[in-house]
Homo-oligomer: A and B are copies of this chain.
Amino acid sequence: MEKIRTIHYGVGYVGAEIARLAASRPNIEIVACIDTDLVKAGRDLAEIIGAAQPTGMVISSDAGAVLSSTEADVVVHCTRSYLPQVVQQLSQIIEAGFDVVSTCEELSYPQLQYPDLADKLDTLARAHGVTVLGTGINPGFAMDKLPLALTGVCQEVRSMRVTRVVDASRRRLPLQRRVGPGLSVEAFQERVKDGTVCHVGLLESAALIARGLGWELDDLSETTEPVVADRVVSSEHFTVQPGQVRGVQQVVRGLKRGRVVLVLELRMALGEEDPHDAVVIEGTPPIDMVIQGGIHGDQATAAVIVNSISLVAAAGPGLVTVNDLPIARSLGVA
């Protein structure tokens, strides 16, 4: 088996989990690591991924130097959520001739909010013969690819509702922070405005579904509301008093000929007692699916990214979405 050589660009919490998993896979060989955080630069990868022995691989903060001097196949990119923040990094990777799989949420369907940037990235990727994919658990699976896969058994889909309820208490600290625990409702609203409280990518998930179904929506809109505690709720990191915010609820609605045909509802809060993922399709046949307990986001994000590496390596050039690729599957060892 020829190994796929990866460069890991961004080894923060999620990036390190991805690198740790990639290092364990027999079909993947990590050949370089990049992180612009100077605290990480110069350290051995082993320290970041919690390996017992040094790997001999030193994290570099000089992306240009690494990308221009390394023989590799795929860059695993894990830095920021918003496309404008990463477009420079992505361009540099593409110009160096590497396929990219990225956790950037807005890259999951950049055509929605940044059609010009998407065009540019697609043109650049084709010119350099590389594939560019944004994916993860959400966006990338739970609220787009999975519901869309379920429609494969439908003769007709009249409407769809996708729900994801996450108990943030069980998630990593940065995610807990992003749901705004302990904030007043007013402070929460401010944080929504500046983009520091909320999940990025729900609109992209809805657009991926609509695109996948060939639906032309009249309107696609999002609301973001606080989930307010009615009792004391606490996690390892936060304690929330009654009346304070314990989480966030985002809802995207898609309209077609004046009728709501698509609803995506994401609730991430401390103390959620019934976390789950659900897809309800009103169609022929109807589908009523639930994943009890929900899909654990931190573990799953790393899995989806690493499981997608071989698909991206095999795909034709251009900017692609999860809709375009075969299903990723775990190649973890039983």
Contacts and interface: CB of A to CB of B under 8 A. Distances in A.
Nearest to A147: B329
Contacts of A295: 153, 285, 287
A154 interface: yes
Interface in A302-334: 302-304, 306-307, 323-334
Nearest to A282: B334
A214 B158 contact: no
A89 to B, nearest CB: 25
A315 B11 CA distance: 36
Interface in A87-146: 137, 141-142, 145-146
B153 A300 contact: yes
Contacts of A214: 331
Contact of A331 (B213, B307, B323, B326): B213
Contacts of A296: 285
A152 interface: yes
Contact of A287 (B153, B154, B291, B325): B291
Contact of A332 (B212, B284, B290): B284
Select the residue from A142, A158, A212, A330 with max chain B CB neighbours within 10 A. A330
A62 interface: no
A304 B213 contact: no
Interface residues of A, number: 56
Contact of A290 (B148, B157, B213, B292): B292
A152 B141 contact: yes
A290 B296 CA distance: 17
A282 to B, nearest CB: 9
Contacts of A215: 334
Nearest to A262: B334
B326 A157 contact: no
A146 to B, nearest CB: 7
Contacts of A158: 334
Nearest to A285: B296
Interface in A260-315: 261, 283-293, 295-296, 299-300, 302-304, 306-307
Contacts of A151: 307, 329-330
Contacts of A145: 149, 327
A156 interface: yes
Contact of A152 (B21, B155, B304, B334): B304
A289 B293 CA distance: 9
Given A155-B299, A324-B326, 19 more contacts: A142-B153, A146-B149, A152-B303, A152-B304, A152-B329, A153-B300, A154-B307, A155-B303, A157-B334, A212-B329, A213-B331, A256-B334, A283-B330, A283-B332, A284-B332, A285-B296, A286-B293, A287-B291, A289-B290
20 contacts: A141-B153, A146-B150, A148-B327, A151-B307, A152-B304, A152-B307, A153-B303, A154-B330, A154-B332, A155-B302, A155-B330, A155-B332, A156-B332, A156-B334, A159-B334, A287-B295, A323-B326, A323-B329, A325-B326, A326-B326
Interface of A: 21, 137, 141-142, 145-146, 148-159, 212-215, 256, 261, 283-293, 295-296, 299-300, 302-304, 306-307, 323-334
